[in-house]
Amino acid sequence: MATAGSNGASSRGATYIVTGPTSGIGRATALELAKRGAIVLVGRDAKKLEEVRQAIERKGQHATSVVCDLSDIVRVRRAAAEIIALRRPIAGLLNNAGIHGAPGTMNAQGWDKTFATNHLGPFALTEALMPHLSDGANVVFVASGVEDPERKPAVAAGYRGGRFISVEASARGEWQPGGSAMPGADGYATSKQCLLAAALELARENQRLRINVVEPGFTPATALAREAPAGVRFVLKYVLTLFAPFIKYWSTPKRAAGLLTRVLINEEGRSGVYFDDGGQPMLGSVLARDPSFQHRVVAETRALLSTVPA
């Protein structure tokens, strides 16, 4: 259900949609984008959405919240309909929401929750909104370098890259054998690999829009590991965050928000680019940058989503 403040969001000027805006990178980016236009906050926790909306409104800026669990395709479609009904000129969509969930956790459709939240949900939301985005609007997907089995920092952290079999297999929580011993790592890496591949394919398909991908760097001060044990969450938020500004490939919500805002504003008009945490073009895994794989992921994702009744 959409809610707005007493001032309402202006129907004039740019409107930006941010998923996962209640903590970490998403919250920091929503607050930054609010300086440039109205914000539509899309997240699953109504109370936290309201807190962010009020924080934006107190600064004389404008925000609307739309409650949606990105893992549930039915709710994603309802959220898209609510956003469309707002009848605002949408200048940008930031697909930021994501989880590093526990294996075996399923969504409302009986699909792997990590894969649904990180890939299927953002894909469904983007496809539903695309016809309603202004010409030249920007769509940004937040990816992760852990999808690449050759990326040394990711391997050192325990990842073994995406373990893709098919989109249907991923939805069932099945991955190629020989992957990571870290719980949830294969599902997370595979979901981000599919997201990256699909985004690059969508960029080729939709020439009137600007579709890009960002690897924001490892940012411990996020809710990505919200399903991890309390001790792990404490270390990520209050200990590792202190070291993030001084370690290569690490980042902070504020720094990542600045990068995402620049890409989302996208004054250079670039499309189909994968940016690293410094804002420079980077390469994904060999598989993710293969056009035939990109086409396959998009085709299989559309086929799977079509099985969910409208």
Give the pLDDT of the chain (310 residues) as one tens digit per residue.
554 433 333 334 799 999 999 999 999 999 999 999 999 999 999 999 999 999 999 999 999 999 999 999 999 999 999 999 999 999 999 999 999 988 999 999 999 999 999 999 999 999 999 999 989 999 999 999 999 999 998 998 899 999 999 999 999 999 999 999 999 999 999 999 999 999 999 999 999 999 999 999 876 545 444 444 444 344 344 444 444 454 455 658 899 999 999 999 988 899 999 999 999 999 999 999 999 999 999 999 999 999 999 8
| Residue 67 CB partners (closer than 8 Å, separation 6+) | 1, 43, 44, 45, 46, 49, 79
CATH topology of domain 2-305: Rossmann fold (3.40.50)
- pLDDT at res. 250: 60
Provide the pLDDT for residue 135: 93
pLDDT of residue 233: 40
What pLDDT, on the 0 to 100 scale, is given for residue 101? 87
Strand order in the sheet with 90-95: 2-4, 63-67, 38-43, 15-19, 90-95, 133-142, 210-214, 274-275
Give residue 77's identity as a one-letter amino acid code: R
* Model pLDDT, residue 10: 37
- Torsion, Cα of 89, 306, 289, 70 (10° steps): 60
| pTM confidence score | 0.88
Strands (E), 102-192: 133-142
